[in-house]
Structure 1
Amino acid sequence: MATQDSGYYDYTIVAPEMPAMFDGMKLAAVATVLYVIVRCLNLKSPTAAPDITYQDTPLNRFLLKSCPILTKEYIPPLLWGKSGHLQTALYGKMGRVSCPHPIGLRKYLPMQDGATATFDLFEPMGDHRTGDDVTMVICPGIGNHSEKHYIRTFVGHSQKEGYRCAVLNHLGALPNIELTSPRMFTYGCTWEFASMVGYIKKMFPHTHLIVVGFSLGGNIVCKFLGENRTNQERVLCCVSVCQGYSALRAQETFLQWDQCRRFYNFLMADNMKKIILSHRGSLFGNATKMEDADLSRLYTATSLMQIDETIMRKFHGHNSLKEYYEKESCVHYIHNVDVPLLLVNSADDPLVHGSLLTIPRTLAEKKQNVIFALTLHGGHLGFFEGAVLVPQPLTWMDKVIVGYANAMCQWEKQKPPCQKSGNLNTSCPEEKAA
């Protein structure tokens, strides 16, 4: 627009006003993005102490008092730690941050069927606080081994606390170790773990054992202890973290899309295919139980159940997938475990459906030796801690396991000699007189 004043023209450009509707759309878009971020990151979720289920016994009171982290608030990283998916993803991709490099010695154990089990042995970096010889016997998660970052972090922390660590390498999991028989690890086969424990008991006749299992490893160690009472000799306690307890009940939930469980199923199946195919020369052929048709079905499998049906159940001659899941799940054995047992799960674990958590909760309500700890956050084997964004190298999970183990060692130290873990079949003179 131009105006004339005293012979001069004044040109003024008048910008059109921004439509109010456009402002509203921008605000709505920003609000939507913020809403999605808040929902996806679960930012409104409160932090809380774990929900503990246990019976009121002198031992349990001592353990909870001596391991206060179990009753204190677990605080994950502020920006992303309340998302079970991000906790799980960070564990899956990175494992841990600033991971140590503990130096161990690899052991090879020949099995009766021609397989060769391997485990890595790590000596303690100092004396244990009780002065005793204590060994952590550790079973990792599905397809994992001693070289995984979360295992190395836990081993490094345990070594500093005076524990010897023996870590099972699942049969077929190590990329540079060839199979010596047409068999690899399965969901609940305890043969390799039993062989490792037997070796430790033989080589260190005075050591006490702390049994630790992560995810699938939790199923294996609980099944191992419950299969035979003699397996519990010299065992101070057992800790299981993020296991699902029943493969038969879990497989139904893995086909559901809530919590993206079907997507996780696909990712784990893809990883299992890679492990199996890396040993195709040992697993497939005329002298094995596998046929070329099984290999073809393996290539097209998109779920763990399809792989279990095609490959895994045949390693031990199970006639059906249901039979395989039933016989390899610890839910049928865990009630036989009499040593102190700590079961840890996270409520936002995208791999373990909430319905499966009735198993450990019911067990803790019925058995005096069981404590069930359910955190509000943590994902699957995440349990990262930190202020805002960057997680700490050591996780809540690492601290809890070692803290619980320390408490059990202290409890064992103050017991009369006749009641110690190495004397399960004896009783005190006072008891005999009674």
Structure 2
Amino acid sequence: MPFGNFVLIFFGICGVGFILYYILSVIETPVLRFNESEFTTQIISKTKRLTKKYYPTFWCFNHHLMLLLLMLRESKSKFYPYDKIEHLEMKDGGTTGLAWTGLSTANQRDLSPIIVLFHTISGDEQDVKATVSYLKKTYNWIVVVCIRRGHGNLPLTKPVINTMGSTSDLKEQLIYIKQKFPGKPLFGVGISAGSGLLARYLGESGSKSMFNAAVAVSPAYDIEKAFHRVHPVYSKIMGQRMINYFLKRHYESFARVKGSEELFHIKTLGEFQDKLHTISGHKDKFSYYQNSNPILVADKIKTPLLILNAADDPICVNQNVLENLHWLETLKNTIHVHTKRGSHIAFFEGLFANSWSDRLIGEYFQSILAITKQNAKRSKNF
């Protein structure tokens, strides 16, 4: 047989094998876990993406490739032009921020929602720009990113930082947003570490939460355990990122803070979190986790919540999910969406690697709005 024909046959067999593998092992319908009720049944029936097959991008469905593509896109994409970035002074003298988009085009007087977004562990308003842009362009909603103290270009006016965020800061931010738009419902979206802050707030607030609905993308659940389970390579990279992003950028602010020098010697993300109490305003490790760990209050969440995890996530690993199925399956008005692929907050789909999770977020919130409108109409008739 001519060598050229042999090569063609070889690659043909490889191609067929790849297609079969993709069809049989990659394409799948998400696994849903929920406490069955009229509400969850309505949400699932209206949110079509929950019951349709998820087609991860065929040329980068590997979890490491997805994460690499996500980081490349974030670093190479254009700077997102927010309408307005506000600096807010907190009661203790610290500074947080709000990055707004949609103020000039959305109807500020109707009952369309404001989407409140929470960024990643060492991010800011720019690292969630793809989600912000999608929700703004697709639905013309007002979107605001809550920037945590010490993140982005915010001045560190008080030497206190919590990578996971502070619920006391968040409450002040939400009150400000509500005062600005008193009639609009608030929908929360937490991305990675941002989902930890969102869940902690929802659990602490219970029925008094200011959110009408929320979505948590790639949460870690018990952060005291989860940060020690991050893939070793990513853990070391992220540990160094914490040093560069927080300590070196704000070196003058932390120079006189007792114990802050210890953080310069950490090797992993888990070590950094265990020592974070020295610069987060807590007296010790126990106090830090007691006041920051979302898992301690998760069972008290009352707000309708959609939670999304991928089983192949190398940062918020699948073990975190499996340990928490006992309450995920019973929490009222909560739907857990579990995909086989998706990596960490990437969830790419289709030839051009569009975000499946961004589209799910939009569909879920549309379902919430439709059910709210339907219930309001029903109540009016009675």
Larger Rg, first or second structure (1 or 2): 1
SS at match of 2:88: strand
Note closer, same or farther for the CA distance 1:97–1:345 as it changes in structure 2 (3 Å cut).
farther
Q: Which residue in 1 is equivalent to 2:101?
A: 122
**Higher mean C-alpha deviation, range 43-52 or range 191-200:** 43-52
The answer to whether the 8 Å contact 2:57/2:350 transfers is yes
Instruction: Tell whether 2:72 aligns with 1:112.
Output: no
What do the CA deviations read for 1:332-351 (whole angstroms, capped 9, x no partner)? 11111112111110011001
The answer to whether the 8 Å contact 1:346/1:375 transfers is yes
Instruction: Tell whether 2:352 aligns with 1:384.
Output: no
Q: Which residue in 2 is equivalent to 1:45?
A: 25
Q: Which residue in 2 is equivalent to 1:356?
A: 320
**Within 5 A, what are the aligned runs for 1:28-107?**
45-81=25-61, 83-95=62-74, 101-107=80-86
**TM-score with structure 1 length normalisation?**
0.77
**Aligned amino acid, residue 194 of structure 2:** G
Note closer, same or farther for the CA distance 1:243–1:275 as it changes in structure 2 (3 Å cut).
same
State the alpha-carbon separation in 2 of the partners of residues 226 and 417 from structure 1. 30
State the alpha-carbon separation in 2 of the partners of residues 417 and 265 from structure 1. 50
Which ranges in structure 1 are unaligned for 5 or more consecutive residues?
1-22, 255-260, 420-427
Note closer, same or farther for the CA distance 1:152–1:302 as it changes in structure 2 (3 Å cut).
same
Q: Which residue in 1 is equivalent to 2:242?
A: 272
**Within 5 A, what are the aligned runs for 1:29-428?**
45-81=25-61, 83-95=62-74, 101-123=80-102, 125-126=105-106, 132-148=111-127, 151-160=128-137, 161-174=139-152, 176-229=153-206, 231-233=208-210, 235-254=211-230, 261-276=231-246, 277-285=248-256, 289-291=257-259, 294-295=260-261, 297-320=262-285, 322-387=286-351, 390-392=352-354, 395-416=355-376
- How far residue 126 of structure 1 moved from its aligned partner, in angstroms, is 4.2
What do the CA deviations read for 1:29-55 (whole angstroms, capped 9, x no partner)? x99xx8xx98xx989733101110113
Aligned residues: CA RMSD: 3.0
- How far residue 306 of structure 1 moved from its aligned partner, in angstroms, is 2.7
Which ranges in structure 2 are unaligned for 5 or more consecutive residues?
none
What do the CA deviations read for 1:208-234 (whole angstroms, capped 9, x no partner)? 01011011110101111111236414x
What do the CA deviations read for 1:161-184 (whole angstroms, capped 9, x no partner)? 03111101222121x332101112
**TM-score with structure 2 length normalisation?**
0.87
State the alpha-carbon separation in 2 of the partners of residues 326 and 73 from structure 1. 39
- How far residue 101 of structure 1 moved from its aligned partner, in angstroms, is 3.2
State the alpha-carbon separation in 1 of the partners of residues 88 and 204 from structure 2. 21
Query: Aligned residue pairs: how many?
Result: 366
SS at match of 2:92: coil
What do the CA deviations read for 1:298-321 (whole angstroms, capped 9, x no partner)? 33321123323444454222323x
**Aligned amino acid, residue 64 of structure 2:** H
State the alpha-carbon separation in 2 of the partners of residues 298 and 313 from structure 1. 9
